[in-house]
Structure 1
Amino acid sequence: MAWGCCSRVWARQELWGCGSRARRFILYTYTQQRSGFRRPAQKSDPHRTSLETGTKPRKSGLSPIVEDPVFHTSSHSAKRLVKPFIFTIGFSGCAFGSAAIWQYEHVKGRVQNYFEGARADWMDRMQPQKEMNFRRQINLWWNSLSNGQQAVSGIIAANIFVFCLWRVPALQRTMIKYFTSNPSSRVLCSPMVLSVFSHFSFLHLAANMYVLWSFSTSIVSLLGREQFMALYFSAGVVSTFTSYIFKIATGRFGPSLGASGALMTVLAAVCTKMPEAKLAIIFLPMFTFTAGNALKAIIALDSAGLLLGWRFFDHAAHLGGALFGMWYVTYGYQLIWNNREPVVKAWHALRTRSPKK
């Protein structure tokens, strides 16, 4: 879903539990949400026309050529939001519940494997090591990554895999049906998740994934790996549902794809928790501004796009993701993550329950 501007950021921050020593890191923001597809050539089959989203024909290959959508008689009805709303609540609840169980299993596994891991390290030091052991080099590289970079590696791999699927002509109809979100489509729920991993343009993919990679260390330091994963997946669904609401309310239907809704949640969460971090644009490093002001500017830009009817980007999904990120790090984690104890207790009881004789 993402497509837009790229900027370079320097920030000095103090993460929770890291003491008084600040860290310097570089961030690149690429926050615009891509919505709409380019038109086919005028000489194409008259039965295959473009999906009108207010953009002119493009030859850049940023998006695929699709047929006109089939608008059902109930496309403008608010009833079409019922299933996506239930799916959003259910999916988000399952995401945070699964993250709580994952954290429980992770902590339990670390305790159980502590001595086994120490023994394995001792034996590894005793055995002679090969100088050019490829597997060892991979392990060293993996261990050199931060927890956040390790956490987003799977997400990036999934996005690359879906990008490769877009290159298979035989899968184009399937990709458009399930990997682009559109409230006028017959399939409403599964694209809310799958479209977050969908990018047609390589530039689109590369920029979004670089932003995710850059912010991964900060967001995982703030929330932890498990909570971050739950927030990211939920943010993709929440931002898509916000886009659904706007499209049905205005009648401006069109497919959207990309990760910017979830990325806006990550950006908003980091900027909200560290509003005084200093940022700078890549080409104008002499001009600095705070993360809080940058977040306000992004929200103002997307609000203007929403009010003025700009249709090249999905500004509704941007705002939905940003507001969700701000709400979560301010109030949401207290209502959701801090109340995960019943889920963990239920899982613990299920895991430790002795078999009936």
Structure 2
Amino acid sequence: MNRLTDTIKHLIIINVIFFIAPQLLKLDFTNILALHFPENEHFGFWQYLTHIFMHGSFGHILFNMYGLWAFGTPLEQMWGKKKFLFFYFSAGLGAGLIYTLVNYYQFNGIYEQLIQLGISSSEIQNILEIGSYDENRIAVSNDNMIKFYNLYHTPAVGASGAIYGILVAFGLYFKDAKLALIFFPVPIAAKYFIPVMILGDLFFGMTKYSIGNIAHFAHIGGALIGFLIAWYWKKNQFKTN
């Protein structure tokens, strides 16, 4: 069993506090701490950091904290506290930024369609506020209009982006370690297992087959930033050791 290192222990405690405290206090901090779309009235730049500590359900925080412990522990033992924290927050922040950029691109694509149909900016804002529109006038598919509304209103929460960064780093440094999913308990080497997971997120993020409200591009963003940092560190580790 991996020994629970101090840094990971403190990160887990902070995440648990952020999860339990609002329930005990019967307060909803979503509008303040979750990551909102930049055009949304509830958006704040601090949310790129705070959303990493927010989780939507017990299962959500359980799997993320398990991943933090299982895959982050050997990385912290190898890198040390400061380096691990830099990596963790870089992956989490990068995940939030890439998630926002992708959402902004998708949102603006539909926004431009509406403008070209002669819908004014004030009318579009009204659609976003009330959640309904004139289907006879707006020749945009219902799926795209639902997506348009959800991009604007649905905030992102969770440490998943940072965890995906950790997964990728683990795969780079411990590529032959055997991993398995609960619903597919067949051990597979990390060098194969982790790329398949990321490709799955890319597929679900780019198609309509996603199950549930999952921020797939935040996962991909965290994985990308994590890969770049871990690859650079591994390549140049002879300079630091």
TM-score by length of 2: 0.71
Q: Distance in 2 between matches of 1:259 and 1:191?
A: 12
Structure 2: which amino acid aligns with 1:319? Answer: I
Q: 1:272 aligned to 2:128?
A: no
Q: Residue in 2 aligned with 1:130?
A: none
Offset at residue 165 of structure 1 (A): 2.8
Q: Residue in 1 aligned with 2:63?
A: 207
Structure 1: which amino acid aligns with 2:225? Answer: F
* Secondary structure of 1:167's aligned partner: helix
C-alpha offsets along residues 163-207 of structure 1, whole Å, 9 cap, x if unaligned? Answer: 1232156632xx122221012334331111111001232222222
Q: Residue in 1 aligned with 2:219?
A: 318
* Secondary structure of 2:179's aligned partner: strand
Structure 1: which amino acid aligns with 2:163? Answer: L
Instruction: Return closer, same or farther for 1:300/1:284 CA change in 2, 3 Å cut-off.
Output: closer
* Secondary structure of 2:222's aligned partner: helix
1:181-192 aligned at under 5 Å gives the runs: 181-183=35-37, 184-186=39-41, 187-192=43-48
Q: 1:149 aligned to 2:5?
A: yes
Q: 1:197 aligned to 2:85?
A: no
Q: 1:160 aligned to 2:5?
A: no
Moved over 6 A (4+): none
Q: Residue in 2 aligned with 1:298?
A: 197
Q: Residue in 2 aligned with 1:255?
A: 155
- Structure showing greater Rg: 1
Structure 1: which amino acid aligns with 2:206? Answer: L
Offset at residue 279 of structure 1 (A): 2.1
Instruction: Return closer, same or farther for 1:200/1:166 CA change in 2, 3 Å cut-off.
Output: farther
C-alpha offsets along residues 88-139 of structure 1, whole Å, 9 cap, x if unaligned? Answer: xxxxxxxxxxxxxxxxxxxxxxxxxxxxxxxxxxxxxxxxxxxxxxxxxxxx
* Secondary structure of 1:279's aligned partner: strand
Q: CA RMSD in A?
A: 2.5
Identity fraction in percent: 26
Structure 1: which amino acid aligns with 2:30? Answer: I
Structure 2: which amino acid aligns with 1:256? Answer: A
Instruction: Return closer, same or farther for 1:210/1:308 CA change in 2, 3 Å cut-off.
Output: same
Q: Residue in 2 aligned with 1:21?
A: none
TM-score by length of 1: 0.49
Q: 1:308 aligned to 2:210?
A: no
C-alpha offsets along residues 317-348 of structure 1, whole Å, 9 cap, x if unaligned? Answer: 0000011111111125778xx79xxxxxxxxx
Q: Residue in 1 aligned with 2:32?
A: 178
Q: Distance in 1 between matches of 2:183 and 2:60?
A: 20
> Any gaps of 5 or more consecutive residues in structure 1?
1-24, 26-144, 340-357
Q: Is 1:166–1:200's contact at 8 Å kept on the other side of the alignment?
A: no
